[in-house]
Amino acid sequence: MGAKRIGASSTGRVLELLLTVADSGRALSVRELVELLKLPRSTVYRYLKVLRGLGLLWSLGNGRFAVGPRAMQLARSFEQSVGLATVCRPVMERLADETQETVAFVVPVEEQAICIETVESRQPLRYSFHRGVARPLLRGASAKAMLPYLPKAVVQRAMVKAGLDEQAQTALWEEIRQIAAQGYAESEGEVDAGVWAVGTPVFGPHGELLGALSVIVPVVRLTPRRRAELVQSVCAAAQRLMRLVWQETKRGGH
């Protein structure tokens, strides 16, 4: 509907505007959108009108725009059709009970990792990787655990987008090889200060990368022994999750 009104060639730009607002995690003004998208103000207003008409963006009445209520419908449709978060939840709850820490599941989208499910720890933890939040692929154990299994072109684009020089890229490629060899990734303070995490990839029945399962822990609760236990726990949970996914796939006749 809206795409036809503005012309097929502009559809990508409209979606880029929507994703820019979604990725920001806050409401954005027209001026900010003009600067971020490098588009004329009149074009931004036209695209905003289309997205507001579809319910995908919401005007806050102060000249700023946020993701609209229709996005909730899209999220619900995603969960119902894919069902990955539903399958993940019991395994994540068990892992959270075992470790008494926060558990997250992320999926790769372009050069980002998007969190689709979390189980919060009963213990205090301040971190920013909540459900629906997108983070760069190159930061944090949750995202890095997926890097060895993504197309090299995607990883390279993410490196260029992050502004990594040749030396930093070489170091990251070496880290990616290490992650592949050991089967998990660790990080400390890469996303949130004072927070350590371990992430491990989860694969589908045909070897395709589905996402990554991770445990997120404040550094103050971490010891060498505890660290080793958490690595073992998250890897075991990933294996349980993969068996569940495979069972669901067989049940669905795929």
Residue 78 belongs to a domain: no
Note down the domain range covering 170.
83-251
The confidence score (pLDDT) of residue 55 equals 83
At residue 197, the pLDDT reads 95
* 104 and 68 belong to one structural domain: no
Domain end, chosen from 15, 45, 72, is at 72
Residue 94 lies in a domain: yes
Question: Do 153 and 50 share a structural domain?
Answer: no
Q: What is the pLDDT of residue 3?
A: 38
CATH number at residue 59: 1.10.10.10
- Whether residue 77 is contained in a domain is answered as no
Q: Could you give the CA distance from residue 223 to residue 227 in angstroms, rounded to a whole number?
A: 6
Res 77: pLDDT: 58
Q: Per-residue confidence of the chain (254 residues) as pLDDT tens digits?
A: 333 344 445 788 888 898 888 877 788 999 999 999 999 999 999 999 998 888 888 888 788 998 887 776 666 655 544 567 778 889 999 999 999 999 999 988 878 888 888 898 877 666 666 777 778 889 999 999 999 999 999 999 999 988 999 999 999 999 999 999 999 999 999 988 899 999 999 998 888 999 999 999 999 889 999 999 999 999 999 999 998 888 876 665 44
Taking the model in full, what pTM does it have?
Answer: 0.71
Residues 66 and 91 in one domain: no
pLDDT (0 to 100) of residue 121: 81
Check whether residue 119 and residue 60 sit in a common domain: no
Q: Are 67 and 88 in the same domain?
A: no
User: CA-to-CA distance for 151 and 174, rounded, in angstroms?
Assistant: 16
Do residue 122 and residue 219 come from a single domain? yes
Q: What CATH number did the domain enclosing 91 receive? A: 3.30.450.40
* 64 and 179 both lie in a single domain: no
Q: What is the pLDDT of residue 184?
A: 97
Q: Are residues 12 and 115 in the same domain?
A: no
Number of domains in the chain: 2
